[in-house]
């Protein structure tokens, strides 16, 4: 990451510290971060999200949102069912992975708090956000599981058909990976030497979250679709475009 | 876009804006910005929602000098200063990172003091002078803090940079010769996620020397 050593003094071209060539725009506030861009006729998307972790969606009333000023359209999962398929898993770990059928906008059921249940398209970001508050969603609560260990141990299941909450099993063992000895052997050896230390370590969920908020701009008006995103994973993004049934 | 095409476009923009003669160098896209000390002509309606009538009770007339140019606009009372700067005036150099006063990317100077512009309403800036990152360079010359950031590799992705520079400049106004500890404390409200703090402190130290 950041190198803090002083560069050695040298007159050679190789090994000499270089100044960055991309700084000028970044230093003066003239960079094209995604939210800084605009295209003709640009519209904004607002998301309606579930406040409930697990529930059946019994009804969604979008009439008031649709009538809200500046709103072009409101879509629920059911509205998009004919056009949008499930999102692919960008990083499968093994063929045995259990990958839920996950739609960009939930259809009949929400499986986590924050899942998108409707989207509003409007002429300004504020109008879109205002209208999301007018979408009326009725939920029928289902059982939730809030603890990772409890989830791994058994029901209630987030996806009942699977009869498990374990999506994948990823073993980090140097023997299995071929990079060293068996972890269990080492632990047994340590026990024989009289060292027994047991702790439970909880690691926060890993979310690579850069400073620039997640943002996307799509221009579908030409013969090709142009897609700007605040990520650095163009190939993943292309993969996710496959959930459009009419690419 | 090829360099040739870019140059043609620049020339066209320069001619259209009466700015022929290579002046576009200051602004890589040939943008023609109002000169400091001028007054933007007509008050405009800057409602976040299209349906809000400027003369309705929802809008308030504000007058704000931003980077040396005075603007008079009708804004909704709920408009945040950063929304006014970005969406109203097109000054997108000031960035929104978190929307919750945590990250400092939106830091600007309000009457010379640093504020997080996502936490100030535009109407609170009525009658005030605002300086953004876009007003820091003078006649194509970078501000000493900007120059020091460049020379010390104090930025990578650059998203924290506008806020970091505004906060650093404010810090140096208040304390022209800060210790490393004082620099770190002065910048504690600004987050960088490319892990650049070490070089940022180095840059602020160098800028302190340059300004003195």
Domain definitions of chain A by residue range: 40-168, 171-198
Using CA coordinates, name the residue in chain B closest to A1. B195
Residue A44: its chain B contacts at CB < 8 A?
A: none
User: Looking at the partner chain, which of A33, A70, A211 has a beta carbon nearest the beta carbon of B49?
Assistant: A70
Residue to test with chain A: of B30, B49, B67, B145, most A Cβ within 10 A:
B49
Q: What pTM was estimated for this model as a whole?
A: 0.80
Q: How many CB atoms lie within 10 A of CB A57?
A: 22
Decide: helix, strand or coil at residue B104: coil
Decide if pLDDT at B135 tops 60: yes
Using a CB-CB distance cutoff of 8 angstroms, which residues of chain A are in contact with residue B53? none
List the single residue in A with minimal CA-CA distance to B157.
A26
CB atoms closer than 10 angstroms to residue A246: 6
The confidence score (pLDDT) of residue A238 equals: 81
Contact with chain A for residue B192, Cβ under 8 A: yes
pLDDT at B47: 59
Residue B63 has pLDDT above 50, yes or no: yes
For the B144-211 domain, the top CATH level (class) is mainly alpha
Q: State the smallest CA–CA distance between residue B150 and chain A in angstroms.
A: 6
The pLDDT value given to residue B98: 93
Among chain B residues, the shortest Cα distance to A26 is held by B158
A133: pLDDT strictly greater than 50: yes
Q: Which of A24, A28, A122 is the mutation pick for testing B, counting most B CBs within 10 A?
A: A28
Comparing CB atoms, the residue among A20, A28, A212 nearest residue B133 is A28
d(CA B170, CA B152): 19
Report pLDDT for A44.
96
The percent of residues above 70 in pLDDT, for chain A, comes to 94
Least reliable range by pLDDT among A211-220, B22-31, B172-181, B182-191: B22-31
Rg (CA), chain B: 18
Q: Could you please report the per-residue DSSP string of chain A?
A: ----SPPPP--SSTT-----SSHHHHHHT----GGG---TT--EEEEEE-SSSSEEEEEEE-HHHHTSTTEEEEEETTTTTTTB-PPPPSS---TT-------SS--SEE-STT-EEEEEEESSHHHHHHHHTT-EEEEEE------HHHHHH-PSPSSGGGS----------HHHHTSS--HHHHHHHHHHTT----------------SSPP-EEEE-SSSS-EEEESSS-HHHHHHHGGGBS--
pLDDT digits (tens, 9 = 90+) for B8-36: 444 544 444 444 443 333 333 333 445 56
Could you count the other beta carbons within 10 Å of the beta carbon of residue B155?
Answer: 26
Asked if the model's pLDDT at residue A144 lies above 70, the reply is yes
**Range name among A118-122, A131-135, A231-235, B169-173 with the lowest pLDDT average:** A231-235
Residue A243 has pLDDT above 70, yes or no: no
Q: Indicate the pLDDT class of residue B50, thresholds 50, 70 and 90.
A: low
Instruction: Indicate yes or no: CB of A4 within 8 angstroms of CB of B137.
Output: no
pLDDT, position B42 = 52
- Specify the residue for token string 């576009």: B24
Mean predicted confidence (pLDDT) in B175-200 = 95
**A62 HSE (CA, 13 A, CB side):** 20
Which pLDDT score is estimated for B38?
Answer: 63
- Measure the CA–CA gap between B30 and A19, rounded to whole angstroms: 24
Region A153-172 average pLDDT = 87
A222 pLDDT more than 90 = no
Question: Shortest Cα distance from B138 to chain A (angstroms)?
Answer: 11
Q: How far apart are CA A48 and CA B154, in angstroms?
A: 39
The pLDDT value given to residue B17: 42
pLDDT classification of B161: cutoffs 50, 70, 90: very high
The pLDDT assigned to B94 comes to 98
CA count, 13 A, side-chain hemisphere, A137: 28
Hey, is the C-beta of B58 within 8 angstroms of any chain A C-beta? no
Contact A212/B95, CB-based, under 8 Å? yes
Measured distance CA(A56)–CA(A139) in Å, rounded: 6
pLDDT bucket at B177, cuts 50 / 70 / 90: very high
Q: CA–CA distance from B48 to each of A96, A135, B79 (Å)?
A: 49, 20, 7
Kindly report the CATH number that applies to the domain delimited by A40-168: 3.90.1170.50
**For residue A23, what is the nearest residue in chain B, using CA coordinates?**
B150
Beta pairing class for B129-131 and B60-66? parallel
Mean pLDDT in residue range A106-123:
96
End-to-end CA distance of chain B: 43
- Give A86 or B7, the one with higher predicted confidence: A86
**Does the predicted interface ipTM exceed a cut of 0.90?**
no
Q: What is the pLDDT of residue B196?
A: 83
CB contact under 8 A, A127 and B151: no
Question: B130 pLDDT exceeds 70?
Answer: yes
**Where does the pLDDT of residue A22 fall: very low under 50, low under 70, confident under 90, or very high at 90 and above?**
very high
Rg (CA), chain A: 25
Mean of all residue pLDDT scores within chain B: 82
Separation of alpha carbons A61 and A134, rounded Å: 9
Q: Do A2 and B191 touch (CB under 8 A)?
A: no
d(CA A84, CA A106): 11
Percent of chain B with pLDDT over 70: 73
Taking residues B41-57, what's their average pLDDT? 54
Average pLDDT of B173-178?
97
pLDDT class for A204, splitting at 50, 70, 90?
A: confident
Share of chain A above pLDDT 90, in %: 48
Residue B40 pLDDT level (bands cut at 50, 70, 90): low
Which of A4, A27, A123 is nearest residue B150 as measured by Cβ atoms?
A27
The whole-chain average pLDDT of chain A stands at 88
Predicted pLDDT of residue B45: 56
CATH numeric code, B44-135: 3.10.20.30
């Amino acid at each position: 990451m950041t190198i803090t050593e002083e560069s050695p003094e040298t007159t050679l071209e190789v090994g000499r510290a270089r100044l960055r060539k991309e700084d000028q725009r970044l230093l003066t506030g003239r960079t094209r971060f995604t939210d800084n861009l605009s295209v003709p006729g640009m519209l904004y998307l607002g998301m309606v999200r579930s406040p409930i972790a697990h529930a059946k969606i019994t009804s969604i009333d979008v009439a008031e949102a649709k009538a809200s000023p500046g709103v072009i359209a409101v879509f629920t999962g059911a509205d998009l069912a004919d056009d949008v398929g499930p999102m692919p898993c960008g990083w499968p770990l093994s063929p045995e992975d259990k990958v839920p059928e996950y739609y960009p906008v939930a259809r009949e059921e929400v499986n986590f708090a924050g899942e998108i249940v409707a989207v509003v398209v409007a002429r300004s970001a504020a109008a879109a956000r205002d209208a999301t508050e007018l979408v009326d969603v009725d939920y029928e609560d289902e059982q939730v599981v809030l603890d990772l260990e409890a989830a791994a141990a058994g029901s209630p299941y987030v996806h009942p058909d699977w009869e498990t909450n374990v999506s994948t099993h990823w073993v980090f063992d140097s023997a299995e990976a071929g990079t060293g000895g068996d972890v269990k052997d080492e632990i047994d050896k340590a026990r024989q030497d009289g060292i027994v230390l047991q702790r439970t370590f909880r690691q926060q969920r890993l979310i690579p979250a850069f400073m620039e908020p997640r943002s996307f701009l799509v221009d579908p008006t030409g013969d090709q679709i142009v897609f700007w995103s605040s990520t650095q994973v163009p190939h993943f993004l292309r993969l996710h475009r496959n959930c459009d049934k009419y690419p | 876009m090829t360099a040739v095409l870019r140059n043609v476009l620049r020339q066209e923009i320069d001619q259209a804006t009466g700015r022929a003669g290579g002046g576009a160098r200051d602004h890589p896209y040939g943008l023609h910005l109002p000169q400091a000390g001028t007054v933007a002509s007509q008050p405009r309606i800057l409602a976040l929602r299209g349906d809000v009538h400027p003369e309705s009770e929802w809008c308030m007339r504000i007058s704000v000098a931003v980077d040396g140019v005075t603007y008079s606009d009708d804004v909704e009372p709920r408009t945040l200063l950063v929304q006014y700067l970005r969406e109203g005036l097109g000054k997108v150099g000031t960035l929104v990172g978190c929307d919750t006063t945590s990250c400092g990317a939106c830091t600007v100077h309000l009457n010379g003091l640093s504020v997080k512009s996502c936490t100030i309403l535009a109407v609170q800036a009525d009658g005030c002078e605002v300086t953004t990152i876009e007003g820091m360079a003078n006649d194509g010359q970078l501000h000493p803090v900007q120059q020091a950031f460049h020379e010390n590799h104090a930025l990578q992705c650059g998203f924290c940079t506008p806020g970091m520079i505004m906060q650093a400049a404010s810090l140096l106004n208040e304390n022209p010769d800060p210790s490393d500890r004082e620099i770190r404390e002065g910048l504690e409200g600004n987050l960088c996620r490319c892990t650049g703090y070490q070089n940022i402190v180095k840059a602020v130290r160098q800028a302190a020397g340059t300004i003195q």
